[in-house]
Structure 1
Amino acid sequence: MTETMPNEAVLDPLGDQDATSAQKTSRNRAKVGSARPSSLLYTYGPGAVMDLPQLTAMPAGLDDWDRIWERRESVPTIHAPRLLAVVKNFLPGVTQLRPFPWAPKRSFADREGEDLGIPARVFPQWLRCTGCNKLGPLSQFTYVNTNPFRPDEARFEHRKCPGPDGRIRKVPSQVVAARYLLACTDGHLDEFPYDWWVHQGQACSSGAEIRPLAMLERTVGKGASATIECKACSLKRPMNEAQGDAGRDKLPRCRGRHPHLGLFAKNGCDHQARVMLLGASNLWFPATQSVIVMPESETETVMTRGDELRAAIGPKKLEKYHADVDRIREELDDVDSRLVALSDDELLAAIAASMAPPPSEDERQAELARFDPIDLLVPEWNYLQRDPAGAHHVDEQTGLAMTSLGDLHPDLRGLGISRGLAVDSLRKVNALVGFTRIDEMERANDLPSRLVPLTRSARTEWAVATEDRGEGIFLQLDEARVAEWEAQIESTDLWEAHRASHQRNFDARFSETSKDIDADSRFLPARYWLAHTFAHLLIREMAMYSGYSAASLSERVYAWNETDDRPAAAGLLIVTTASDSDGTLGGLVSLSERTSLNRIVGRALTRARRCSSDPVCAQRVPKDPEDFLHGAACHTCAMASETSCERANRFLDRRFVLDLPGYGGYGFFS
């Protein structure tokens, strides 16, 4: 993570270090913190607010990352054509996926990656002194970060702080971010207007040009508990007046600000802003797409070759030499592109594909409306239906290595588990296409308008992605038994209670612009509840024996009903991956041995029969006005960490996995 002082036209934080060498002067160092690629993708991406040891920063949009990549002779890319095709629905013009500008250090003295980093702005830029409660923009405080080996010491200080008793302190007081922000459902984020708030939109009665403000904390850590005071006119106003629906009417209209891009929405914003606390969980929801790279699902096409061609030689050279095949081949040879081996006809086809006009906005919106996240899973499911050629069969193209579990233990077959695969090594690619605020991505029908852009320009050549490597275990449920069980479950009162709760949840939590969606279209089938809950139970049990923490294990659930375009599916893949290493240690795959797997599944089901919160947990059924999206499941028995669950611990119920007291006949494995 890198940082630059505010009000600079261009974000080039590493330029500070360049200038230091040239001018022989002491300058602030650029490094202010660090984060793993997976954290930057799912928690602290562009537009999110990241808590560093002494300050808060917001990663900038992708436009500013180009200046970082220019320091390298060549830019690394991630090959995943199937994912790239989906990303282009959200980000037209994208021709390549790039990793984060980051490189791991192999030793303390290793200088690899020092020229890389993610540009970031200090945000929020209103700060509070912990010594005297002074509230002001960061220009009123002193920035300190001169030690290149201690980025955690980057901080703001209030020098000559008078303290609460008015005595000047010899030691500067620590300054922290003022913790209130304004946000709206269109993804805009702004500083809280403290001066406007305390004066209720009027001018200060003192007539002073500089109005010193103070933030008085009365009850630390309990919501909007602070009071804003103007030292010039002695006016005070508590922040709890800004909370709730009544408080929202007292706030100014949203200004349409995107601080990660350094701009405001072109046509402004019509939404009413709402107050949010710094660090709120709904401040930033990533919109990501991911695939597990598998043979045939990543087959090369003319379009993927066209994208690779444009990325290899650049749009300017492509435009200039597109009619000259020999010159294009020379350019490809200069950059050592594998496309140089194509025949003239294949190269001409790739050139034509790369020069084709992009789809119109109407065409893109129509394609986005047709997009179904299940479409990414279907090719994976189809490939997993095939037994590998032998033990530890490795596909040279994708690096996917699988071993059939062969004849499963009779106990597992008796439970309704029909097949199993040990995935010895796999590659998972995850791409960020944007983000939302307040409402999650899946809670918006008008997603194209609410998905916050990652760049200032309407079109961008690349999107950011991570490449994870790891291992996993795949289990498939017997389709005939699942179909029979599902038909019975979906005619029960328990299932109707879940469906009604989902409707209430949908009506209560969706944005105002999404009321026209049919809630049942987002309600997942009973087979998904079954596979999802079973996956959580396995994750909790496997964590005890695999050597990995439960948070390191994640699920990929294949569960949908048959349609004209795809066959029915009922299965799950438990994986562990790492984005900053060559893979994992094999502890998960080791559990796929015939006897071990039977023992793991048996113990997982046995533990699930009892929860320390029973009978409350086991008999939990949502009733009006309750709108929770789980049944007999809680953090004691079935819920998992955010990094493990693909549905944020929704659509879980132990009663669909096995019979619980008072609910006999519901459990699939019973």
Structure 2
Amino acid sequence: MTSWIKGRRQLDPLADGEELQAANAKKNFAKVGSGRPSSLLYTYGPGAIMDLPHFTVMPAGYDAWEPVWARRDGSKPIHAPRLLDAVRVQLATPVREIRPFPHQPDVGLFSDDGRDLGVPAVVFPQWLRCTGCDRLAPLSHFGYRNTHPYRPDEAQFQHEGCPGRGGNASKKRRPLALPARYLLACTMGHLDEFPYDGWVHHGERCATSEIPHLKMMESTMGRGASATIQCASCGAKRGMNEALGAAGRAKLPGCRARHPHLNAFDAAGCSAGTHLMLIGASNLWFPQLQSVIVMPMDPTEKAQDLADKIRAALGDDIGDFDGVRASVLRRSLTEIEGLSSIADGELHAAYQAALTPASSEALAERREGWHPNDLLAPEWKALTLQVGGDHHEDEASGLTVSLRPRDPDLPSPIARILAVEKLRQVNALIGFTRIDEMDRVADLPARRAPLSLTPPTWVVGTENRGEGIFLQLDEEAVQEWEQRVHNSALWAAHVAAHKRNFENRMSETASVTDHWTRLQPPRYWLLHTFAHVLLREMAMTSGYGAASISERIYAWEDGQREPAAGVLLLTTSSDSDGTLGGLVRLSQPERLNDTVRGALRRALRCSSDPICAHRTPQQPEDFLHGAACHCCTMASETSCERANRFLDRRFLVPLPGEFNDLGFFRDVP
């Protein structure tokens, strides 16, 4: 993680570091911390606030990464054609590639390999509070200390010459200055510093000083909006608790449409109201991700992939080859593997597709009809495809699967078991939202905060390898069960709760979107609950922690595509060797039967019963789960694709009470 410190180039700190090194300065302005690619993708991506030991930084947008990439000839992009196409559709931009994070492994504890790489970041917020005298001031009033080149955790801001609370200034006193924790955010993804000066003076200027001396007085450290802002110049005081609640929002200033990660403001402005936020608030940053399990490509995907490779290989010179013979084109594309087996006509067609990529207008039109299941459908097709033999390996995608026989005692609705011995999962970050999540996979593009000032030509992603187990349910049994659920009072209660939840969202999405388009069908609730109880059971015998096992749910009714009812439980690692094989071993018939039956038996009881077993949302409740809680069903954020929404054990097994007849697995010994 690289960061800008006051007075130096804001988004090219590595160049600053080189200047300091050339001058034999024993300072480390550039490096201030580190983060794993997964954390920078899911928790601390561009626009998020990342906690360091002594201050906070915000990873910058993609534009600022270009000077970092320029330090290398480039990195090998992540190959995932289907994901790249989905990214283009979502952004309505002809994105060229998915790049890994700029990183180079260290070869030793004090190695300098890769120190010229990093994710650019800015110090944010840039209002700090002195821990010695309560002085509240911008970054420029404080000194920066970071002398050890291999200890970025020691970087800190200090108030040099702090007078202390007694008013006796001392050059030796250098107490720590910490970030002032209040911010302003809006539902359109903007974020700004809290205007402390304007707040304490009620929107007016200080009557005594042009640059007032502000203090932040804490009555109870770390508890919400408990601070009082005081102007030592004129004596004005105002508590931050006035900014809380609906009444407090009316007192806050309007949104300035600021994107601090881009060092810019939206030219069109913003009409959304502002919300008081704390630095560590969990709803400050929600990433919008696209994720795929890389599967064997169909002919359409192969043609698009070849066009992408041609565009990348020829670069800006691609127009010079228009009309040339296929033999000439081949000689210019020697870096593309397998080109010799491609027919001349196919090569020319791919070149023409590369020469004229889809326009932003065409991509935006495709986005109107896009659905998250468009990414899942090819995976479902590949996993349910009957191939010759019980074992199949696809070298291009890295997918290796083996069909497992059913144990005679396995619950009959489980129709097919597949051991996924090797798989490759690729994730890409395309934007983020604030205050409200991007409804939960697909929402209004206007609410997505951009990751670059200009339409991006690349997005950052991660590539993980691992293993899993795929379970497919019998479609006839699922459809028969769905009929019972659709006609039940329990499902009607969940539908009503979902409508209330949708209408209560701060982003006001319900005013332009029908909640039915976001409600998951009953089969999703069934498979989602089944996946959760299974992964909790698998964690006890697979050798993996429950947080390292994740789910991929294939659940949609008959409509524009063939119906699906299955779940893939997987674990992945960024290591090139993947994982240890613990989940694959559980796919053996006898062991899987024990695991499934054990999970279903545990689902029959919860330590919070009967409260949990009878939980049904009623007006005005808007929670999106029924008989499910952290004691029996809910999983960690790393495991669940829906943040523990759409769960109910009554859809899975028969629980005592009014809806005893809705359990899908009726016979659970």
Give the SS at the match of 2:2.
coil
Match of residue 537 from structure 2: 541
2:603 is equivalent to residue 636 of structure 1: no
Identity of aligned residues (%): 56
Match of 1:532 among 525, 528, 535: 528
Match of residue 280 from structure 1: 281
Match of residue 578 from structure 2: 583
Match of residue 446 from structure 2: 449
Between stretches 569-578 and 444-453, larger displacement belongs to 444-453
How many angstroms apart in 1 are the aligned matches of 2:442 and 2:461?
Answer: 25
Mark the CA change 1:442 to 1:530 in structure 2 (over 3 Å): closer, same or farther.
Answer: same
Give the SS at the match of 2:660.
coil
Q: 1:203-260 CA distances to partner (integer Å, 9 max, x unpaired)?
A: 1111x23211111111223211111011101111001111122111111111110111
Mark the CA change 1:130 to 1:339 in structure 2 (over 3 Å): closer, same or farther.
Answer: farther
Give the SS at the match of 1:592.
coil
Paired AA for residue 566 in structure 2: G
Mark the CA change 1:324 to 1:13 in structure 2 (over 3 Å): closer, same or farther.
Answer: farther
2:605 is equivalent to residue 610 of structure 1: yes
What does 1:403-482 correspond to in 2, within 5 Å?
Answer: 403-406=402-405, 408-414=406-412, 416-442=413-439, 447-457=444-454, 459-482=455-478
Paired AA for residue 397 in structure 1: A
Q: Is the 8 A contact 1:37 1:579 kept in 2?
A: no
Mark the CA change 1:236 to 1:418 in structure 2 (over 3 Å): closer, same or farther.
Answer: same
Paired AA for residue 435 in structure 2: I
Give the SS at the match of 2:354.
helix
Give the SS at the match of 1:427.
strand
Match of residue 182 from structure 2: 180
What does 1:65-464 correspond to in 2, within 5 Å?
Answer: 65-91=65-91, 92-105=93-106, 107-108=108-109, 111-168=112-169, 170-206=172-208, 208-297=209-298, 300-314=301-315, 316-319=316-319, 322=322, 332-333=333-334, 336-338=335-337, 341=340, 345-356=345-356, 358-361=358-361, 363-387=362-386, 389-390=388-389, 393-406=392-405, 408-414=406-412, 416-442=413-439, 447-457=444-454, 459-464=455-460
How many angstroms apart in 2 are the aligned matches of 1:311 and 1:509?
Answer: 42
Query: What is the CA distance between 1:313 and its match in structure 2?
Result: 3.4
Query: What is the CA distance between 1:321 and its match in structure 2?
Result: 5.2
2:525 is equivalent to residue 523 of structure 1: no
How many angstroms apart in 2 are the aligned matches of 1:397 and 1:357?
Answer: 24
Q: 1:157-213 CA distances to partner (integer Å, 9 max, x unpaired)?
A: 12222222334463521121111111111111100000010011111111x232111
How many angstroms apart in 2 are the aligned matches of 1:622 and 1:514?
Answer: 19
How many angstroms apart in 1 are the aligned matches of 2:156 and 2:332?
Answer: 47
Q: Is the 8 A contact 1:659 1:666 kept in 2?
A: yes
Paired AA for residue 549 in structure 1: G
How many angstroms apart in 2 are the aligned matches of 1:8 and 1:107?
Answer: 30
Between stretches 503-512 and 527-536, larger displacement belongs to 503-512
Give the SS at the match of 1:411.
coil
Match of residue 60 from structure 1: 60
Mark the CA change 1:273 to 1:354 in structure 2 (over 3 Å): closer, same or farther.
Answer: same
Q: Is the 8 A contact 1:297 1:380 kept in 2?
A: no
Give the SS at the match of 2:465.
strand
Give the SS at the match of 2:178.
strand
Query: What is the CA distance between 1:340 and its match in structure 2?
Result: 6.0
2:482 is equivalent to residue 486 of structure 1: yes
Mark the CA change 1:289 to 1:327 in structure 2 (over 3 Å): closer, same or farther.
Answer: same
Q: 1:9-43 CA distances to partner (integer Å, 9 max, x unpaired)?
A: 65112223322343333343411111111111111
Query: What is the CA distance between 1:586 and its match in structure 2?
Result: 1.1
Query: What is the CA distance between 1:343 and its match in structure 2?
Result: 5.7
Give the SS at the match of 1:135.
strand
Mark the CA change 1:146 to 1:581 in structure 2 (over 3 Å): closer, same or farther.
Answer: farther
How many angstroms apart in 1 are the aligned matches of 2:489 and 2:373?
Answer: 28
Q: Where does structure 1 lack aligned partners over 5 or more consecutive residues? A: none
How many angstroms apart in 1 are the aligned matches of 2:592 and 2:648?
Answer: 23
Paired AA for residue 532 in structure 1: H
Mark the CA change 1:444 to 1:510 in structure 2 (over 3 Å): closer, same or farther.
Answer: farther
How many angstroms apart in 2 are the aligned matches of 1:545 and 1:143?
Answer: 50
Mark the CA change 1:510 to 1:176 in structure 2 (over 3 Å): closer, same or farther.
Answer: closer
Q: 1:122-146 CA distances to partner (integer Å, 9 max, x unpaired)?
A: 1111111122111111111111122
Paired AA for residue 352 in structure 1: Q
Give the SS at the match of 1:232.
coil
Between stretches 387-396 and 184-193, larger displacement belongs to 387-396
Q: Is the 8 A contact 2:288 2:441 kept in 1?
A: no
How many angstroms apart in 2 are the aligned matches of 1:444 and 1:594?
Answer: 34
Q: 1:507-548 CA distances to partner (integer Å, 9 max, x unpaired)?
A: 111523541322122111111100000100011111111111
How many angstroms apart in 2 are the aligned matches of 1:148 and 1:472?
Answer: 42
Paired AA for residue 375 in structure 2: L
How many angstroms apart in 2 are the aligned matches of 1:357 and 1:555?
Answer: 34
Give the SS at the match of 2:269.
coil
Mark the CA change 1:319 to 1:194 in structure 2 (over 3 Å): closer, same or farther.
Answer: farther
Q: TM-score, normalised on structure 2?
A: 0.94
Between stretches 531-540 and 23-32, larger displacement belongs to 23-32
Paired AA for residue 659 in structure 1: P
Paired AA for residue 547 in structure 2: A
Between stretches 649-658 and 440-449, larger displacement belongs to 440-449
Give the SS at the match of 1:378.
helix
Paired AA for residue 383 in structure 2: L
Query: What is the CA distance between 1:118 and its match in structure 2?
Result: 0.4
Match of residue 654 from structure 1: 649
Paired AA for residue 436 in structure 1: T
Mark the CA change 1:79 to 1:360 in structure 2 (over 3 Å): closer, same or farther.
Answer: closer
Q: TM-score, normalised on structure 1?
A: 0.94
Q: Is the 8 A contact 1:444 1:450 kept in 2?
A: no
Q: Is the 8 A contact 1:226 1:238 kept in 2?
A: yes
How many angstroms apart in 2 are the aligned matches of 1:498 and 1:329?
Answer: 59
Query: What is the CA distance between 1:305 and its match in structure 2?
Result: 2.4
Give the SS at the match of 1:3.
strand
How many angstroms apart in 2 are the aligned matches of 1:285 and 1:443?
Answer: 10
Q: 1:353-382 CA distances to partner (integer Å, 9 max, x unpaired)?
A: 222164243x43332121000011111111
Give the SS at the match of 2:136.
strand
Paired AA for residue 223 in structure 2: K
Q: Is the 8 A contact 2:285 2:432 kept in 1?
A: yes
How many angstroms apart in 2 are the aligned matches of 1:490 and 1:23?
Answer: 73
How many angstroms apart in 2 are the aligned matches of 1:114 and 1:636?
Answer: 45
Q: Is the 8 A contact 1:16 1:28 kept in 2?
A: no
Mark the CA change 1:10 to 1:137 in structure 2 (over 3 Å): closer, same or farther.
Answer: closer
Mark the CA change 1:129 to 1:643 in structure 2 (over 3 Å): closer, same or farther.
Answer: same
How many angstroms apart in 2 are the aligned matches of 1:300 and 1:516?
Answer: 34
Mark the CA change 1:647 to 1:298 in structure 2 (over 3 Å): closer, same or farther.
Answer: farther
How many angstroms apart in 1 are the aligned matches of 2:104 and 2:155?
Answer: 21
How many angstroms apart in 1 are the aligned matches of 2:357 and 2:70?
Answer: 27
- The RMSD of aligned alpha carbons is 2.1
Between stretches 195-204 and 303-312, larger displacement belongs to 303-312
How many angstroms apart in 2 are the aligned matches of 1:182 and 1:575?
Answer: 39
Q: 1:67-99 CA distances to partner (integer Å, 9 max, x unpaired)?
A: 111111232201111111110012302011111
Q: Is the 8 A contact 2:199 2:238 kept in 1?
A: yes
How many angstroms apart in 1 are the aligned matches of 2:578 and 2:113?
Answer: 21
Mark the CA change 1:195 to 1:320 in structure 2 (over 3 Å): closer, same or farther.
Answer: farther
How many angstroms apart in 2 are the aligned matches of 1:33 and 1:157?
Answer: 18
Q: Is the 8 A contact 1:486 1:526 kept in 2?
A: yes
